[in-house]
Amino acid sequence: MSENFRELWGEALRQIGEEYVSKGQEGDFKLWFNMEYVRDEGNKITVNVPSAFFWAQQVSKGYVAKVEEKLKELTGQELELVHVETNTPVSKSEPAPHQAQVEGGTQPVSRPMGNKGTDIIAQARADYNSGLETSQHVDTGRGKHPLLTEEFTFESFVKGDNNDYAYSSCLAIARNPGQAKLFNPLLLYGGSGLGKTHLMQAVGNYIWRNNPEPLKICYTTTENFMNEFSMSLANSIVDKFTKKYRSYDVFLLDDIHFLLGKERLQEAIFNTFDALKSHNAQMMFTCDRPLNELKGLEERLRSRLGSGTTIDMAPPQFETRCAILQKKLELMGKELPEQVISYIAKNVQSNVRDLEGCLKKVVGYAELTGQTPDIAKTQNLLRDNFVEASMDSISMDTVQRVVAEHYNISISDIKGKKRNNKYTFPRQVAIYIGRELLDYSFPELGEEFGGRDHTTMMHSYEKISSMLKIDSSLEVTINMLIREIKDYKK
């Protein structure tokens, strides 16, 4: 067995790891570069991965290509990665995985997943692929949990390319709460109405109904947690509050972006986190944006929240939106013509909540009138819901203004000549969005950005395009900015 490239493999992953850590994406690195060097032969390097499904995701999202590019940069050779699957731990007699020195300590690179975590997620992915999902379980007959919405289950959640990994990860921790370090904590982030709360409560419901041991489960919003904390301070019963929250086996905290600027609340969450971690309680959080965009969050708490796995929840694609509407109709016991379902799915691209709102309006009309709505009637019913921003109403000034406000710089900085990354990166984002939304030519873009030449515009656009292939958090940010631009009121 040849190991000509083992050392260079370790160096390649070390450099990639440093790149991700510098951008605050250590969680993404540990998750998606979960490949263990096995051997090399000719121009091929064989690596271990948890499953074929996981490998397909690594390929489709560009992470395999990222490693191949880095290896080419280091070796000057075109090397191809091929995979084998295993759920068994590496023998102790084999060489230890290469380590990468990254901010916050030494992190394993070749095997970022612990063996237990690998087994757990591999099983969840296998079930996901085979369609088993949650069918192989025993209901304990405990009934409804007092803090959870019983309709929020894995069975009622519609999977798609936008949420498949989030679904699999949630199912993994539901089946084995607190057992996989890589998924404890698990943090889901993304815009409103994309299913974060549904999946979080599905985890709680699954554990409550199916776990043989009667685990203590807490689901609460950050707002409710804050109110209870404030009351404990006012009534001098902080010890009672502390004891309550540190005794849970499963802690599900929704909407942590409401922690921003609240120092005492952040301290309470920090101490609760450490106490829960000490007895391997399963923790899960949701947020409306990536952790590195939460300004006003203490660094030590940010580090804790991002110490497991963070996954973005992107808006659903057209096919998934159609499936969601079909699922909602099935749960309601209703039917609508396929062309009506397609019309709604085509016009509502934002989130599941908006989809459901439009669907209920159409179903409500059908129930009241006893008539099955056609396309014309559906268009009339939903005309107020589908008021889309006209491209004619969006100017480059709006694009520049929204991007500048998001990155806390001025419009003159966006257009100006400053070359510090604080200004160049937002400028490149604005150039990319302007090109995508307004279809400007590169020379036209140059005029809008301080008279720069078209090659600079082309480089900026292509740089962001390339980053989007490997940086899921950037995709979330740009989609959010585009929505803000379309909704912008002068």
Distance CA 319, CA 490 (A): 34
184 and 308 Cβ atoms separated by less than 8 Å? yes
Which residues are 242's β-sheet partners? none
Structural element, H or E, at residue 380: helix 375-381
Max CA distance (Å), the chain: 74
CB neighbour burial string for 166-201, b if at least 16 within 10 angstroms, e if fewer: bbbbbbbbbbbbbbbebbbbbbbbbbebbbbbbbbb
**CA-to-CA separations, 174 to 167, 225, 252, 307, 428, in angstroms, rounded:** 10, 23, 12, 19, 41
State pLDDT tens for residues 265-281. Answer: 999 999 999 999 999 99
pTM greater than 0.85 (yes/no): no
Structure tokens at 318: 């057209």
Q: pLDDT tens for residues 68-110?
A: 999 888 888 889 999 875 443 333 333 333 333 333 333 333 3
Q: What is the pLDDT of residue 387?
A: 53
pLDDT of residue 303: 92
Measured CA to CA, the distance from residue 246 to residue 235 in angstroms comes to 19
Distance CA 138, CA 120 (A): 18
Residue 95: predicted pLDDT: 36
What per-residue confidence (pLDDT) applies to 488? 67
Q: What's the pLDDT at 400?
A: 92
Angle at CA of residue 459, ends 457 and 462, nearest 5°:
105
Tokens standing for residue 235: 């009534």
pLDDT for 287 equals 92
**What is the pLDDT, as a whole number, of residue 113?**
37
Q: Is 487 exposed, middle or buried (0-12, 13-18, 19+ CB in 10 A)?
A: exposed
CA distance 355 to 260: 30
CA distance to 1, 3, 171, 250, 280, per residue, from 123 (Å): 29, 30, 10, 21, 21
Decide the pairing of beta strands 80-85 and 99-102: unpaired
Are the CB atoms for 402 and 485 separated by under 8 Å? yes
pLDDT tens digits along 32-51: 888 888 888 888 899 888 76
Structure tokens at 59: 């390929």
Rounded Cα distance, 250 and 241, in Å: 16
Which stretches of the chain drop beneath a pLDDT of 50? Answer: 86-118, 128, 130-136, 389-391, 490
* Strand duo 186-189 + 217-221: pairing: unpaired
User: Average per-residue pLDDT in the chain?
Assistant: 81
